[in-house]
Amino acid sequence: MIEKLLALAQKEERIVAGIMSGTSVDGIDAVLLKISGSYTDTKITEIAFNNYPFPEGISERIFKLFDTGKASELCHMNFLLGELFANAVMDLAKKAGVEKIDLVGSHGQTIYHIPEPIDKDYRLRSTLQIGEGAVIAHKTGAVTVTDFRVADVAAGGIGAPLVPYVDFLLYAEPEQTVALQNIGGIGNITVIPKGAQSNDVVAFDTGPGNMIIDFLVKKTTGRNYDSDGAIAAKGEANAKILKHLMTDEYIQKAPPKATGREYYGDAFSEKLYNLCKNAGLSDCDIIATATAFSAESILYSINNFVPHDISKLIVGGGGAYNPTLIGEIKKRLSKLEVITQEEAGKNSDAKEAIAFAILANETIVGNASNMPQVTGASCKKILGKISV
């Protein structure tokens, strides 16, 4: 086993698969990369990307874990997701004509994330991602790196966000400050000052991304999301409710910070729905208000927690495909160049899967890839668990 890892670390070029299943639980993003070098010498070539929707009923079962944590189902789903992740990698490789994958980096499915201690006797943060790496390694025949967040959490960090390390490797510019805003279920921002070193990067979760919007669309229309932002475009955000939302404890909190479904999930969204209904808002106005909240939280985050003048904001994630949300962001950040990943020649869907492929590559060559100034960890750590 040691010989296999050493041989992999010494290869000049590796074929690496990255896997991501996000807080929206809408499927598996899988990417194949050709990676050479490491750290700031990292060079990548994207071979293929695809999204694999979960088989019927799997998303619902995962959502039940969020609510109940039933032990037997959690145990089974850990291995089942490993199987599905492996299947996605093998199918993608087959379609791309790639015979052998060297390495897989899998973020896994976040089941619960506790960035702040909840036990008065044991002041521990904790996090749980599932999707068994041993299953992926066995089925694909590739060295597999999983469970990236726990090393940072063990060192006193909040375990998120981890993608900023990769943002720094791929997007740093010597002459201008670049920011990357991902809008998945949760929004997160990475700010890379011009000419930055890795410890200069600023990053944190800005607040809700699509999570609240998706819940409210499902509740009011039965659809899964606001396609092209069409529903929000027909409504008008309620200024009074939006002002109230911006007093939210998480929005006001200074970094390092991270959040997720545990905070902005169904209970928060249901409370907002009732507040809007009691105020007499139409369904379109409710969706418009939730959309404006996501945009306003990004503005607030930049104005209050980013000590740099940003030149360019690149927006990725599912929210980048919502022109109404993008319009709300551009309206609030009119002095910045705001573009989407696609407009920058990248792929919004593939961004996070690419990130975990690169993080796996860093793990294999022995590079620490958390950012203590971002997560609050006491030291730098080599991330992930290796399955062979």
pLDDT in tens, 35-59: 999 999 999 999 999 999 999 989 9
One domain, residues 126 and 212:
no
One domain, residues 86 and 130:
yes
One domain, residues 137 and 199:
no
Q: Please work out, in degrees rounded to the nearest 5, the angle formed at the alpha carbon of residue 348 by the alpha carbons of 343 and 352.
A: 140
- Asked if residue 341 belongs to a domain, the reply is no
**Span 56-78, mean pLDDT?**
86
Exposure string over 22-36, b if 16+ CB within 10 A, otherwise e:
bbbbbbbbbbbbebe
- Is pLDDT of 170 > 80? yes
One domain, residues 180 and 258:
yes
Please count the structural domains in the chain. 2
Q: Which residues contact 388 (CB under 8 A, 6 or more apart)?
A: 1, 4, 5, 137, 143, 144
Q: What is the token pair recorded at 113? A: 């994330």
Q: Write the CA distances from 298 to 145, 180, 184, 315, integer angstroms.
A: 32, 11, 13, 11
- Asked if residue 19 belongs to a domain, the reply is yes
* CA 201 – CA 307 distance, rounded (Å): 11
Residue with tokens 């927006």: 315
One domain, residues 21 and 133:
yes
CATH of the domain at 330: 3.30.420.40
- Asked if residue 226 belongs to a domain, the reply is yes
* Contact by Cβ (8 Å): 387, 134: yes
One domain, residues 158 and 119:
yes
Cis geometry, peptide bond prior to residue 164 (ω within 30 degrees of 0)? no
The two beta strands, 385-387 and 143-146, are: antiparallel
DSSP code at position 126: E
One domain, residues 112 and 133:
yes
One domain, residues 307 and 185:
yes
Q: Write the CA distances from 251 to 143, 210, 238, integer angstroms.
A: 39, 16, 18
* Contact by Cβ (8 Å): 52, 27: yes
DSSP code at position 109: E
- Assign 103 to helix, strand or coil: strand
Q: What is the token pair recorded at 102? A: 């060297």
The two beta strands, 337-340 and 312-316, are: parallel
- Is pLDDT of 67 > 80? no
- Is pLDDT of 68 > 70? no
Q: Please work out, in degrees rounded to the nearest 5, the angle formed at the alpha carbon of residue 180 by the alpha carbons of 368 and 370.
A: 15
One domain, residues 263 and 325:
yes
- Asked if residue 340 belongs to a domain, the reply is no
Q: pLDDT by residue (tens digit) across 322-337?
A: 999 999 999 999 999 9
Beta bridge partners of 13: 36
For the chain, the first-to-last Cα distance in angstroms comes to 7
Least Cα distance to 198 among 371, 48, 34 occurs for 371
Q: Write the CA distances from 347 to 98, 219, 267, 344, integer angstroms.
A: 21, 30, 32, 9
| DSSP string over 19-77 | EEE-TT---EEEEEEEEES-GGG-EEEEEEEEEEPPPTTHHHHHHHHHHH--HHHHHHH
Q: Is 197 exposed, middle or buried (0-12, 13-18, 19+ CB in 10 A)?
A: exposed
Q: pLDDT by residue (tens digit) across 221-232?
A: 999 999 999 999
- Asked if residue 265 belongs to a domain, the reply is yes
Q: Write the CA distances from 67 to 111, 267, 332, integer angstroms.
A: 9, 11, 35
The two beta strands, 43-52 and 312-316, are: unpaired
- Asked if residue 246 belongs to a domain, the reply is yes
One domain, residues 128 and 178:
no
One domain, residues 202 and 325:
yes
**Span 337-357, mean pLDDT?**
93
One domain, residues 375 and 314:
no
Name the residue range of residue 269's domain: 171-335
pLDDT band at 379; cut points 50, 70, 90: very high
- Predicted confidence at residue 69, as pLDDT, reads 65
- Predicted confidence at residue 362, as pLDDT, reads 97
| DSSP string over 56-70 | TTHHHHHHHHHHH--
Q: pLDDT by residue (tens digit) across 242-289?
A: 999 999 999 999 999 999 988 999 999 999 999 999 999 999 999 999
Q: pLDDT by residue (tens digit) across 94-129?
A: 999 999 999 999 999 999 898 888 777 778 899 999
